[in-house]
Amino acid sequence: MVGTRNATPSRREMAARVGSEGLNER
3-state secondary structure of 21: helix
Q: pTM of the entire structure? A: 0.27
- CB burial readout 1-26, b (16+ within 10 A) else e: eeeeeeeeeeeeeebeeeeeeeeeee
| Residues 3-25, mean pLDDT to the nearest whole number | 66
CA dist., res. 22 & res. 25, Å (int)? 5
26 pLDDT above the threshold of 70: no
At 17 the pLDDT is: 73
